[in-house]
Structure 1
Amino acid sequence: MLADPSSKLGMFGAVFAALYAAHQVADHWVQTQWQADTKGQPGWLGRLACAAHVATYTLTAAIGMTVSAVSHYIADRRTPLARIAAALGSARFHAFGAPRPGRDDNPTLGTGAYALDQAWHVGFLFVAALWIAGGAS
């Protein structure tokens, strides 16, 4: 049986499930190819593409997702997660499966960078769900 939805635990579970579902839809269905291809590039074009992706991501979730939106932007700029991975001794895992420079020799979703990106997002979805449920009356 489901937890009482009026309880904070029930609220947390419902909010986390909603945020996780919204994240999956926004990252894999709503995000445009241009956003996906451009959001990690340096300069204003990369920033614009990333901000456009985060805006559609946030609209998809349509609830108080400030924590999730900020963490999503940080992750999708790519460099911050690469730096965090390096600082934690996971630089090789972050680079795992990535195509060699100038080549498209591993067109797959199964890279270390992708796994770390998704883990970052889900971790902050957890934090956002705790935040939202904690503020529920």
Structure 2
Amino acid sequence: MASRAARTAAVAVITDHIHTWADYWGQRDTDAQTKGLPGAEGRAACARHVANHTAHLAVALLAANRLLDLNIRPKRLATGLALAAGTHYLADRSGGHWKDTQPTTFLVRAAHKLGKQGWIQNDPTAGPHLDQAWHRAWHLVAAAIIAR
């Protein structure tokens, strides 16, 4: 049986790689374009994306659990995936809002409070980089929960 450290490392690597796949290749184009819209349409698109993303993570982690004998407990897996999903939704509602002069979403407001507005306004890749850093940090926390 793998040690907790080995399980955490394996889950973190798998989660990180599958996240990248699911967030780009696995995301429906229409959801990518509309998940930041206000109202029901934006919320539904974001929820579909997050559900799809979470399903990718779950399938990969269940397969790894079986193939690598990671001894992942179902409750821990569910808790970690719920954390990843919730934080993913919170961030992805910012899609299309990074250059808003009056920040309207949680993550854009946080970035402005941390003094990132100059970078955001001057570099078109700043918002996506901040988004991905947010996701990856929370996925590491989720991996630690899942592997415990």
> What TM bracket, shorter-length normalisation?
0.7 to 0.9
1:22-101 alignment to 2 at 5 Å? 22-62=18-58, 63=61, 64=77, 65-78=81-94, 79-98=105-124
| Superposition misfits of 4+ residues, deviation over 3 angstroms | none
Higher helix share: 2
Alignment size in residue pairs = 118
Distance 1:90 1:39, change over 3 A: same
The separation in 2 between residues aligned to 1:19 and 1:127, in whole angstroms, is 11
The separation in 1 between residues aligned to 2:27 and 2:13, in whole angstroms, is 20
| Structure-2 residue corresponding to 1:101 | none
| Structure-1 residue corresponding to 2:144 | 130
What is the CA distance between 1:94 and its match in structure 2? 2.8
| Structure-1 residue corresponding to 2:128 | 114
Greater RCO, 1 or 2 (C-alpha within 8 Å, sep 6+) = 2
Residue type at the aligned position of 2:57: A
What is the CA distance between 1:25 and its match in structure 2? 1.0
The separation in 1 between residues aligned to 2:56 and 2:120, in whole angstroms, is 28
Per the normalisation by structure 1, the TM-score is 0.81
Q: CA-to-partner distance for each residue in 1:81-111, whole Å, 9 max, x for gaps?
A: 100001111122233334xxxxxxxxxxxx1
1:15/1:133 contact within 8 Å kept? yes
The separation in 2 between residues aligned to 1:18 and 1:96, in whole angstroms, is 33
The separation in 2 between residues aligned to 1:19 and 1:74, in whole angstroms, is 18
Q: CA-to-partner distance for each residue in 1:11-55, whole Å, 9 max, x for gaps?
A: 000000111111011111110110000001111100000000001
The separation in 2 between residues aligned to 1:35 and 1:17, in whole angstroms, is 26
Per the normalisation by structure 2, the TM-score is 0.76
Residue type at the aligned position of 1:76: D
1:19/1:129 contact within 8 Å kept? yes
| RMSD (Å) for aligned C-alpha atoms | 1.2
